[in-house]
Amino acid sequence: MKINNLSSISFCLLSVLSMSACNCETDAAIKQPSILVSEMAQLKDGITAIGDDSLAFVLFAPHKEEVYLIGDFNNWSQQTAYEMEKHNDRFYLKIGDLEPNKQYVCQYLIDGKIRIADPYATQISDPLYDDAIPSSRFPNLISYPNGKTTEIAMVVQTPEDKYSWDVTDFKAPESSDLRIYEILLRDFTTEGTIKAAHEKIPYLKNLGVNAIELMPFNEFDANDSWGYNPTFYFATDKTYGPTVEYKRFIDACHQQGIAVIMDMVLNHSYAESPFLRMYETEQGTPSAQNPWYNEKSNFANPDAQWGSDFNHENALTHQLIDSICSFWMDEFKIDGFRLDFTKGFSNTPYPAQGDDAWGSPYDADRIKNIKRINQYIKQQKPDAILICEHLADNEEEKVLADAGILLWGNLNHTFNEATMGYTEKSDISWGSYKARGWKYPHLISYMESHDEERIMYKNKAYGAQKGGYDVKELPTALERTEAAAVMLYAIPGPKMIWQFGEVGYDFSLQAGGADRLECKPIHWEYYDVPARRALYDVYATMSKLRSEYPAFSSTDYVMEASKACKQILLKSAEGDICVVANFDIEPQTHPVLFGSVGKWEELFTHTSLQVSKERQNVLLAPGAYKIYYLKK
């Protein structure tokens, strides 16, 4: 099991070194007696397989005096043969005579008191949570060595497992045409595994999805989580299945033309992170010696503090971030990253109260740090996707967008006001990159993400009513959500759907004071309900239309979206598209801006409309929507 690639020159240098026996309790593995530090230094930090029976260990640990490797191969005892050799800030060790294809559990013992797994470990063994992972999720999971050690350990193996990729040259879709589907694996299938999600790829392909954004799946604290409490950055979380199943999922997505985006948390990590545990105070916070973290968060607002805060002004943190991104792009062929809470990517202090409590003031330092990450990943993979959950001042987001970075654009409140029938506060104009004054369509507009209350829940709970028209009724609520989906997909630029939004998922995120992080019911049967299937079909149709009609990617468009009737006119050399929807709860005759006269075709019903002037009245029932096309 490999952490970092080993150069061929390193392999040659290390493989020719002879092995000798050691006087220790077991000879299952033998320390290399004369390791040239200059040779080991060519290896990257972490664990490297250097043959069918040998592993090399490199640990970066400034200010530490001694490190021992303890594990299955030496009966978990502190033995001279397994003391790592120190040179400057790193410790080195090579062991051999390991049984091929056998997994071993081991740890570093630092200065006689700190027990950690290698920070670059690709699989960990957890004394608290592994026993709760059923074999149906992770078959043949190696047991933790209870009674022999404490704290999290790492699982190692030689020779390394190789995955044979079917797709080796996948290119991500153009960023302006991304149709992203956000998934929390825990709540996506009954099994809650990456393997079960693999089986749903045809469903997503038919929906028109061309990118899947997986909420964090590197190792996080405990087994039941959204994943925003990361602990090990180079290991897949075992609660969703074995590492190879993640690779099979990504490979299968690429076969269907679907990119895979990894949600990554680089603002902070949690208590079990070895990067933290090597240098922490008695209170479990980063010590002043910690190479990667701030001693405390720069956000005075307690609602914006999670775990321990990375120091993004530190070159060592930069190197760590780069190694994380490289690993997932190289080893898993990840197509890009969605970075959580990028407002935290600087050491600028922010207040606890007031309008700026979430870090909205312009911050040149975090812009510099985010642009550095973007530049690095695109040097490694030119078509790599970088998405920031920034949600800061528009002036700042514009700078990032101009640098080629995609930004989340939250339209949950305004779209939901429209679908519920309360149109006074339903202006969705901010979903247009042009309305924000941006040069490029780098705004990912969405109605729902993991963080927002569900559109359909609020429709059914709080929808408006007039006469016989009632938004709270399921068919009506779904029809109005169809109209919203049409408007969302009509706006040029990338889009995102939260899982099951396409079938009107209506279980509340946190109604009645419920824990928003708790497991949610899974309703695949919704697809078989005709009114819900109609919503799915609208999303699928809009994806198809966006692919077929160039006007949907036009930079020449006019959007009128502040009132009950909303419309967008998109112009292109091939033909114009006019989209209009009525979010009032009563019929409206709306002066639709067509811009050009002629016979327009309505693309859902394939009926025609003769337009004789630039603006022409169209009668729209409540919740009705139309897409007109004029071929040139």
pLDDT tens for 550-597 read 999 999 999 999 999 999 999 999 999 999 999 999 999 999 999 999
Across residues 449-463, what is the average pLDDT?
A: 98
Output the six-digit token pair for 132: 């709760």
Tokens coding 596 = 């050009």
Cα 386-390-396 angle, rounded to 5 deg = 100
Domains along the chain with CATH numbers: 8-158 (2.60.40.10), 175-552 (3.20.20.80), 559-631 (2.60.40.1180)
- What does each C-alpha distance from 192 to 186, 523, 548 come to in angstroms? 4, 13, 35
pLDDT in tens, 26-45: 444 555 434 556 677 688 99
With a cut of 80, say whether residue 18 has pLDDT above it.
no
pLDDT at 599 over 90: yes
- What's the rounded Cα separation, in Å, for the pair 542 and 483? 11
The answer to whether 101 and 54 have CB atoms below 8 angstroms apart is no
Q: How far apart are CA 147 and CA 240, in angstroms?
A: 27
507-534 per-position pLDDT tens digit: 999 988 889 999 999 999 999 999 999 9
Which range is least confidently modeled, 10-19, 74-83, 379-388, 607-616?
Answer: 10-19
**Residues linked to residue 628 through DSSP beta bridges, in sequence order:** 578, 602
Specify the amino acid at residue 557.
Answer: Y
pLDDT of residue 1: 33
pTM: 0.94
pLDDT in tens, 145-184: 999 999 999 999 998 889 999 999 999 999 999 999 999 9
CA angle (524 as vertex; 518, 525 as ends), nearest 5: 125
Q: What's 243's DSSP letter?
A: H
pLDDT of residue 31: 54
pLDDT at 37: 62
Phi first, then psi, for residue 240 (nearest 5°) are -100, -5
Beta-carbon count within 10 A of 588 CB = 18
Overall average pLDDT of the 369-398 stretch: 97
Residue 512 has what pLDDT? Answer: 82
Whether the bond into 550 is cis, omega within 30 of 0:
no
Q: Give 480's pLDDT tier (boundaries 50, 70, 90).
A: very high
**Arithmetic mean of pLDDT, 283-307:** 93
CB 26 within 8 A of CB 75: yes
Closest CA to 37 of 99, 95, 100, 84: 84
Torsion sign, CA atoms 93, 94, 98, 102: positive
Q: In Å, what is the CA distance from 103 to each residue of 32, 296, 350? A: 20, 38, 47
Contact indicator for 35, 92 with CB cutoff of 8 Å: yes
- Can you give the pLDDT at residue 409? 98
- Whether the pLDDT of residue 492 is over 60: the answer is yes
* Confidence category of residue 185, pLDDT binned at 50, 70, 90: very high
Instruction: Give the pairing type, strands 211-214 and 259-264.
Output: parallel
Contact 299, 344 (CB under 8 A): yes
pLDDT for res 8: 30
565-579: burial string, b at 16+ Cβ within 10 Å, e else:
bbbbbbbbeebbbbb
3-class DSSP assignment, residue 31:
strand
Using CA atoms, how far residue 511 sits from 178, 517, 518, 519, in Å, is: 31, 12, 12, 14
**CA pair distance 35, 21, nearest whole angstrom:** 15
Give the model's pLDDT for residue 27: 43
Q: DSSP string covering 288-317, please?
A: TT-SSB-SS-SB-SGGG--SEEB-TT-HHH
Place of tokens 């190879």: 244
Q: Is the dihedral of CA 505, 506, 511, 514 positive or negative?
A: negative
199-239: pLDDT as tens digits: 999 999 999 999 999 999 999 999 999 999 999 999 999 99
Q: How far apart are CA 43 and CA 66, in angstroms?
A: 20
Torsion of CA 205, 206, 209, 210, to 10 degrees: 50
How far apart CA 190 and CA 365 sit, in angstroms, is 43
Q: Which residues contact 26 (CB under 8 A, 6 or more apart)?
A: 73, 74, 75
Give 388's pLDDT tier (boundaries 50, 70, 90).
very high
Buried (b) or exposed (e) across 217-248, using 16+ Cβ within 10 A? bbbbbebebbbbbbbbbbbbbbbbbbbebbbb
Nearest residue to 448 (alpha-carbon basis) of 539, 358, 550, 584: 539
Helices (H), 129-219: 194-198, 201-207
Q: Are strands 179-183 and 495-498 parallel, antiparallel or unpaired?
A: parallel
Cα Dmax for the chain? 96
